Chain A
């Protein structure tokens, strides 16, 4: 089965599995463990105009079925990225998505402008979960107007395909998605981590150096699916879904909820080769579920498209998937 995915502005993925930003570094770190040419793409660590130092340690803390992180978007800046990391990434045979961050609308604009001058970048992903230091520190991703301003500024600087990564830390993610669609976003990626915290009882203090952190991993998946499902009904542009994916069946859930492609993050820490395994397993699972083409899975659980009665009838005729837990 052909797993290729066609996204706006000519962004062609060989399959729908993309490494999520911040969990796959800049590529070389995993080069000896993962065949990167097997992936649909890699979204690199968030890039700012100048280096950001990040938060004090500890920066990760395990929670039930989840992971809290407060890395604090440490990165060495877009210029060092272009000179030091991009040459490696150009040659690995997969799509490169540059994840961009900023403290002001202008910082996002600067990074987008710089990256648009470089060959080898296939798309931009705008991480709007950063605090807007000019507007009292609330994150861009919590306000439709500020999110739209960022997207509009980026749009003026680039013809690359742009996805805006929306945050679950807001009451109405759909409003943010609609706002950035109206200001020129080509795609939505959803979702970023959910703010949480843990207490280190031995030391009687917050567990993370950054006090609060972002929750990722399987614990996040139901929330991510709900947001993808809602956004898919509100916007016309494609969605790249993520949050807690650790198996091919998880991927199918996101596709059915309306995602055209997905990103995989936290599970890679434990099983670096899981993304490759998912790529290998996906065709068979899609077939077992009664689809001939990947595109037909996308959105198949959305209202108006899903048909519970039909599916139940089909199930009686389908051979049982051998022991697989679906």
Chain B
């Protein structure tokens, strides 16, 4: 049970809700909250901020359907029914090697949770490559700048930053840092392009989305095709992921 303590609208049709819940605040970045909204199923949403000291956590989501619309209308004081933290989050990067975060749209929020925890230990300046459809939808750019990241912004229509996708800046970053560590979250097409451009270079981690039932590994609804301990097969996004290494996934 997590009461909403703060609500913000960072972009049109995007809402960030802070809740007080020490259990959720202890999550690993990349893990997710499974939230009761409306309908038969909970909605999986990643954490955008995690603060163990205050016991507060936040989720940042786009309004796309019935559940997120309901959630977007909740006010401070409403108590949310959240299961979590669930899933396997991002592994902490090797602080001695460069790392970069690649986010598209609502794939950006979980990367902020990661950046907030990891930046202090980084031996080289981390990079954040943020992509969006247009200017007003670029999420959390200021937060990454304040953390001291080298920030690259791309938009599909060129209304802000470089016109194009995150893949251009990522290719340049990888050329300079072939041993780098890449953490990516965004639409499947973007993730598949990240894998393709990275080739065999560096370490690449990807946070995936899939439609879920239980969220705890019981129903086998949320699968993606990948390489498991027993060879190629379906893997569960809710418990084997949502974060997978490049080598664990097989993109069609």
Contacts and interface: CB of A to CB of B under 8 A. Distances in A.
Contact of A269 (B219, B225, B233, B234): B219
A67 B218 contact: no
B83 A25 contact: no
Nearest to A28: B217
A69 to B, nearest CB: 7
Contact of B83 (A26, A45, A272): A272
Given A23-B219, A29-B218, A71-B220, A270 B40 contact: yes
A93 interface: no
Contacts of A63: 40
Interface in A57-94: 57-63, 65-67, 69, 71, 74
Contacts of A270: 36, 40-42
B6 interface: no
B240 to A, nearest CB: 12
Contacts of A65: 40
Contact of B233 (A53, A57, A217): A53
> Would you call the interface of chain A mostly helix, strand, loop, or mixed?
loop
Contact of A74 (B220, B224, B239): B220
B39 interface: yes
> Would you call the interface of chain B mostly helix, strand, loop, or mixed?
loop
Contact of B234 (A22, A25, A53): A53
A289 B42 CA distance: 33
Interface in B205-252: 210-225, 233-234, 239
A271 B216 CA distance: 12
B210 A57 contact: yes
A29 B233 contact: no
Contact of A60 (B36, B83, B212, B225): B212
B218 A24 contact: yes
A51 B155 CA distance: 45
Contact of A268 (B214, B223, B234): B214
Nearest to A29: B218
B77 to A, nearest CB: 22
Contacts of A58: 210-211
A63 B223 CA distance: 20
Nearest to A66: B40
A291 interface: no
A53 B222 CA distance: 14
A121 B46 CA distance: 39
A33 B83 contact: yes
Q: State which size class the interface on A falls in.
A: 20 to 34
A23 B39 contact: no
- Of the candidates B83, B234, B239, the one having the most CB atoms from chain A within 10 angstroms of its own CB is B234
Given A53-B234, A270-B36, A59 B83 contact: no
- Of the candidates A33, A66, A270, the one having the most CB atoms from chain B within 10 angstroms of its own CB is A270
Nearest to A24: B218
A71 B234 CA distance: 11
Contacts of A271: 36
B221 A69 contact: yes
Interface in B19-50: 36, 39-42
A269 B220 contact: no
A162 to B, nearest CB: 24
Contacts of B234: 53-54, 57, 74
Contacts of B222: 57, 59
A59 B221 contact: yes
B217 A25 contact: yes
Nearest to B217: A29
Contacts of B219: 22-23, 25, 60, 69, 71, 269
A62 B39 contact: yes
A67 B217 contact: no
Interface in B32-70: 36, 39-42
A60 B41 contact: yes
Contacts of B210: 57-58
A266 interface: yes
A59 B234 CA distance: 12
Contacts of A61: 211
Contacts of A56: 225
Contacts of B42: 269-270
Nearest to B216: A29
Contacts of B39: 62
A266 B42 CA distance: 12
Nearest to B224: A57
Given A53-B233, A269-B213, A59 B223 contact: yes
Shortest 7 CB-CB distances between A and B: which pairs? A25-B218, A29-B218, A60-B221, A29-B217, A59-B221, A58-B211, A269-B214
Given A25-B218, A217-B40, 4 more contacts: A23-B213, A58-B210, A67-B213, A69-B219
Interface of B: 36, 39-42, 83, 210-225, 233-234, 239
10 contacts: A24-B218, A25-B216, A25-B217, A30-B218, A56-B225, A59-B220, A59-B222, A62-B40, A269-B215, A270-B40
